[in-house]
Amino acid sequence: MTGTVLVADDHPLFRQALCLAVRKVLPDARIAETGTLAAAAGVAAGADDLQLILLDLKMPGAVGYSGIALLHAECPDVPILVISSAESTGIADEVRAFGAIGFLSKGSDLADIENAIGRAISGGAPARPSGNDDPHIHDVRETVAGLTAMQLKVLLAVLDGQLNKQIAHSLNISEATVKAHMTAIMRKLDVSNRTQAALVARSLGLDLRH
């Protein structure tokens, strides 16, 4: 199988290890390496033949699970396998809730990573969370995971404390477009203002500094 595999991690040596694992499983694949979330999102948006994303949670530009949510929004049909040193109770379920197909610790053996890559490539929808969470939280996570890429970028900018004018400048869109996205975000999250939208996002881990 040929295509592009995105390896997104800000540690060059670990990226090299992941590339070796990819080559073992997919010797003909083209590998795109990135060290920031913005660069990873650019690859995800522009690669027509993207078949797998290997993602670290702790990258410049990413907070909490925002990297998963953003890349899932850019390419919802591409499996995302999170390989990270982040640790929290239930993290495997949490990454799946935001659109990843699975989670592996960076302490995993190379053979385990290769096997996980093989399983991800073989297809299948992301496993559903185990059901230990509050059903309402799970529903809201699915809603956040269903936001468009631009809506997520606007929401993350709001979390960063940016005003509409600043968001418009950083995303190269008009203030009216920012307001339209915020209206759509608030409607989807069933909240009445941007402060409530930010609180919902923070409660789901989008603003957690792992």
Residue recorded with tokens 């390989």: 83
What's residue 23's pLDDT? 94
pLDDT digit of tens for each residue in the chain (210 aa)? 578 999 999 999 999 999 999 999 999 999 999 999 889 989 998 888 999 999 998 888 777 788 888 898 888 889 999 998 877 667 888 888 888 998 998 888 889 999 999 998 887 444 444 445 555 666 777 787 788 889 988 988 888 888 999 999 989 999 999 999 999 999 988 899 988 888 887 777 665 443
Domain layout of the chain by residue ranges? 4-121, 147-203
Closest among 59, 65, 61, 55 to 203, alpha carbons compared: 65
SS3 at position 83: strand
What local confidence, expressed as pLDDT, does residue 138 receive?
A: 67
- Inter-residue contact 182 to 154 (CB < 8 Å): yes
- Reading the block at residue 164, the tokens are 């509409």
CATH top-level class of 4-121: alpha beta
What's the confidence (pLDDT) of residue 96?
86
Backbone angles phi, psi at 81, to 5 degrees: -110, 115
Q: Which pTM was predicted?
A: 0.74
User: What is residue 161's predicted lDDT score, i.e. its pLDDT?
Assistant: 85
The class (CATH top level) of 147-203 is mainly alpha
Give pLDDT, residue 175. 94
Cα dihedral: 200, 203, 175, 163 (round 10): 120
Return all residues near 122 (Cβ < 8 A) that are at least 6 apart.
none
Identify the pLDDT of residue 34: 95
CB-CB neighbours of 168 under 10 Å: 19
- Looking up tokens 């997104």 gives 8
Amino acid 125: pLDDT = 45
Distance in angstroms (rounded) separating the CA atoms of residues 13 and 189 = 39
SS3 state of residue 126: coil
